[in-house]
Amino acid sequence: MRAAFIRSLIDLARTDERIYLLVGDVGFSLVEPFARELPRRFLNVGIAEQNIIGIATGLALSGKIVFAYSLANFPTIRCVEQIRNDACYHNANVKIVSSGGGLAYGVLGTTHHVTEDLAIMRALPNMTVIAPGDPIEAGLATKAAAEWIGPCYLHLAKTGDPVVHKSAPNFQIGKAVTVRKGNDITLIATGGILASAVQSAEQLEKKGIKTRVLSMHTVKPLDSEAVLAAKRETKAIITIEEHNIIGGLGSAVAEVLAESANPAINFKRMGIKDLFCLEVGSQEYLRKACSLSVDNIVNEAIQLLQRCS
């Protein structure tokens, strides 16, 4: 996803002189093409993420569109105060980009896991929260964020993420993408775990279970219509996210369901329990440790549907 992001950003910056890129002394082998081609609109602020947000807000208030990029939780959790009081309070055109979302940097331990960011960003007024599901969505999300007025948070996975879409979907902020159709159960995924949701749907299909898969790439504003359609047209809903079970996609979908006219539906949130993931290993290993593997999703779907009978 990182490569798709930087390619899309360079293409946009070539025709829009307002676009700037700020980094926190990271992204080597990734951001150099932007720096070489557009050196006057590139700034390495150093390992000082609070300053990055302040500088980005200042540039934005002077008419620029500023992308602030860093790894994992550093451009989010480290500088929530600056994001809230600088970018959000002033409704500035600051686009915060976090690379290595979820458990992508699993080998570096808990300090590099970003499993609370969607909840934090979602709670901030004026903030739009986007977590693309594959590299194609990442490129489209970059363009959409650049065109969006106000602060955005772009939660990316990493390099080498599987491509889910066979062609570019109709990507709109606040509108889910239907990846697979089905009327038995709906899997709603956000972020890089979308591929696992699709693989789970394929396995469920072999068992005769017709599974709808939604890529909920925008967590805020959430596509309430897609959620309510899933409630009407399928028997159960599972949300899937590589994020704390509290405050992210599952919470957002639960809120929509709870406030609907007839909230009753078999519903399950799948995510990281309200604990730190203390194990160290690959992203795939940690997903299994956190009960977020394809097998886990398939089993949860079957058990949830059994409640319907």
- CATH assignment of 177-308, among 3.20.20.30, 3.40.640.10, 3.40.50.920, 3.30.1330.20: 3.40.50.920
Predicted pLDDT at 160: 76
Q: What percent of the chain has pLDDT over 90?
A: 83
Residue limits of CATH 3.40.50.970 in the chain:
2-155
Catalytic machinery residues: 49
Query: Using CA atoms, how far apart are residues 119 and 99, in angstroms rounded to an integer?
Result: 17
Say how far apart CA 17 and CA 7 lie, in whole Å: 16
Query: Assign residue 291 a region: left if phi > 0, alpha if psi is -120 to 50, beta otherwise?
Result: left
Q: For the structural domain made of 2-155, what CATH number should be given?
A: 3.40.50.970
Q: What pLDDT, in 10s, does the model give residues 209-238?
A: 999 999 999 999 999 999 999 999 999 999
State how far the Cα of 290 lies from the Cα of 181, in Å rounded to an integer: 27
**Helix or strand holding residue 19 (H, E):** strand 19-23
Positive/negative CA dihedral, 196, 140, 130, 96: positive
- The Cα 99–Cα 77 span in angstroms is 13
- At 4, the pLDDT band (50, 70, 90 cuts) reads very high
Measured CA to CA in angstroms, residue 284 lies from 61, 154, 217, 227 at distances of: 41, 22, 21, 28
Distance separating alpha carbons of residues 163 and 161, to the nearest angstrom: 7
Q: What mean pLDDT, rounded, does the chain reach?
A: 94
Dihedrals phi, psi of 300, to nearest 5 degrees:
-65, -40
Enter the pTM of the model.
0.95
Cβ atoms 126, 95 nearer than 8 A: no
Categorize the per-residue pLDDT at 161 as very low, low, confident or very high, splitting at 50, 70 and 90.
Answer: confident
pLDDT of residue 278 exceeding 90: no
Tell which residue, 136, 64, 75, 72, has the closest CA to residue 109. Answer: 72
Q: Which of 72, 74, 133 is nearest to 101 (CA)?
A: 72
Residues of the chain with CATH 3.40.50.920: 177-308
Distance of CA 61 to the CA centre of its chain: 26
DSSP per residue, 245-260: TTTSHHHHHHHHHHTS
User: Is the predicted pLDDT of residue 273 greater than 90, yes or no?
Assistant: yes
Distance, in Å, from the CA atom of 298 to the CA atom of 266, rounded to the nearest integer, reads 15
Q: Cα(103)–Cα(109) distance, rounded to whole angstroms?
A: 9
Condensed to tens digits (0 to 9), the pLDDT of residues 46-93 reads: 999 999 999 999 999 999 999 999 988 899 999 999 999 999 999 999
